[in-house]
Amino acid sequence: MRFRQLAMFAIMVIGSVTTANARYTETMDANGLEKNAVSDYGLTNDEAKNNQSDILQRAIDDVAAAGGGRLLIPKGTYRFAQIRLKSNVHLLIEKNTVIKPYWPAGEKTVVFELDAERPRQKKKITLEQKKAFIENVSIRGLGGRWIIDYSDRERASGEGVRGILAKMVRNFLIADLDVKDNYSVYCGITLTPMQTESETKDWPVSRATDGTVRNCRIFNASPGYGLTQLHGAQSVHFQDLYAEGGVTLRLETGAVGDKTAVYDITGKNIVSENGRCAVMLGPHSAMNGVVKIDGVKSISSTFAVTIGKGGVKEAELKHNPDATDGVFAKGSYVKNVHAVFGNHAQVKTHDFLSVPEEYRDDLDLRWENKFFEGPSIGAVMDTTAGHYKVIVENVTMGNFKYNADKPIMTEADVPSGKWGNAVNQWKSKHGISGEVEKKRSLKRRSTN
């Protein structure tokens, strides 16, 4: 009875969330099929000692075969990897449940995949398998937030983990998730397209489509990653997101392939703390659609918003010699932005010249010799140089001694010089040579 009441409450809450053009439509039936992964399938709260992915996957498969329904995961600590959702299955994870990834040393993994099943070897995938997608699925908390925790794993070359990877899925919800990171490779939640040379114009789905990502957070995120990464998404809404470290909503469409792009993306209440920025727009070579973000806040991050000029990667030119600098479509905007100054921002070495000289001696070079911990620089940095236009409105700033009169900075506001030379001079002055020690690179602050 307790689980049923919580499930009905979850339906009412999600059903009350509406947005203009991008949203998840609730399909979970509170009176439909309900299964419990513990009592019905033997999932064990074993403090994540064993990989129980096969048990959870069998439960998902059974619910899907019955036409769909709710699958409950009671409170506990479990270990899973590469769990694949199926159409019409809604995964409800009880408040404070902890999921640790099954993640062998030297490998890359993902905990939950929102994607159709297809051969792992790309050359063996048929056209029909490429077109396959799942729909009407959700992963949400039951009574509060649930947790994916890989904070006990130190970053190592050749390894990486994603909490959730959404690909060929339509009408999906990801909600109430806390990711406990340790500056690892990849974002906690990644949305991506189906990269294929076949035409997709007549496909109903070619990327993560018609979804909502809400009430999610990440802690101790790498400055090169963050909470969410969008390489391919269409009609997706992001709301009430928080990242401690990295980028909260990363619209950096840098994956190589002609299907990389995002369209009709909306966001509300996006917050960054002690990171790079809350919202990053970086089109690379993708011709993106409209993006509309309302409500952005940075607390002790380098910027609140960064808007970058497109640029074609060398790997993309090999794939597509005709590739050109990417854009975000006319009508894109970011409004109601507030930046609060602090001294624990993740400042990329490329931004060294933008750091006021008064603060430079206090910089701490960390994170693989590419990022400093240091002062916030500004609210919005726009380096598009007129290549495309994102409207920015109502920018406010708090406690900034420098750049307080420049709510929207451009390259013209950066002191002249070569950042690489300036960083090398800084290293020499501070007696730093070669790679920063691993322990220094992975130094952690305690999380809330």
User: Which has more pLDDT, 108 or 310?
Assistant: 108
Q: How far apart are CA 118 and CA 95, in angstroms?
A: 32
pLDDT computed for residue 123 by the predictor: 80
Tokens of 96: 């404070």
- Please say whether the beta carbons of 227 and 214 come within 8 A: no
- CB-based contacts of 387: which residues, under 8 Å, 6+ apart? 309, 310, 325, 327
- Please say whether the beta carbons of 40 and 54 come within 8 A: no
DSSP-derived letter for residue 124 is: G
pLDDT computed for residue 1 by the predictor: 54
Tokens of 75: 């409170």
pLDDT computed for residue 13 by the predictor: 52
> What's the farthest any 2 CA atoms get from each other in the chain?
68
Name the least confident of 127-136, 198-207, 345-354: 198-207
- Please say whether the beta carbons of 195 and 155 come within 8 A: no
Tokens of 312: 């074609």
Q: How far apart are CA 429 and CA 411, in angstroms?
A: 26
- Rounded to 5, what percent of the chain is helix, strand, coil? 15, 40, 45
Helix or strand or coil: residue 7?
Answer: helix
pLDDT above 70 as % of the chain: 89
Q: Tens digits of per-residue pLDDT, 34-71?
A: 999 999 999 999 999 999 999 999 999 999 999 999 99
pLDDT computed for residue 368 by the predictor: 84
- Please say whether the beta carbons of 379 and 408 come within 8 A: yes
Tokens of 58: 């069998």
Residue 18 pLDDT exceeds 50: no
Which architecture does CATH list for 2-441? 3 Solenoid (2.160)
Residues forming beta bridges with residue 370, ordered by sequence position: none
- The amino acid at residue 34 is E
Q: How far apart are CA 271 and CA 245, in angstroms?
A: 11
Q: Tens digits of per-residue pLDDT, 202-237?
A: 888 999 999 999 999 999 999 999 999 999 999 999
- The amino acid at residue 207 is R
